[in-house]
Amino acid sequence: MEHASLVAFLEGKLAPEQFGDEVGAEVSACNQAFRSKGLGYIVVSDGPCTIVTRDHAKRLLEAVADQRLTFQIANYAADCIIMSDDFEFADDAVNEAIYFVEDDSVAPTLEEVRAAIEQLSR
């Protein structure tokens, strides 16, 4: 994933659908490799240090809640944020929201996504 594309999406300069189109094949390849070989690679290019804000986290969660971005793509984006040295969290609420999206053990329900959005509004 290109750092610049992820930041553009988080900042609202790239629509969720455009972002999904741009990274969809990469996410599918990673998920397929994980299913078939038990190992998938998450790659994000280097970029300037970016502080992930509550607005950024809300944009990611709202894109999932509004079905403008699949959970798989949001999950991969969250993995990229967490694994990159070029992203930092503005506060603990942002940290929790990104880790919520990163947890792919069970896809969250719409109610859980909405509750996570609400937590960012406090």
pLDDT digits (tens, 9 = 90+) for 69-107: 999 999 999 999 999 999 999 999 999 999 999 998 888
Mean local confidence (pLDDT), 42-60: 96
How many angstroms separate the CA atoms of 107 and 43, rounded? 22
pLDDT bin (cut points 50, 70, 90) of residue 22 is very high
**From residue 54, how far is each of 71, 89, 117 by CA, in Å?**
19, 9, 9
| pLDDT given for residue 106 in this prediction | 86
**From residue 15, how far is each of 53, 97, 104 by CA, in Å?**
18, 20, 23
pLDDT digits (tens, 9 = 90+) for 4-20: 999 999 999 999 999 99
pLDDT surpassing 90 at residue 122: no
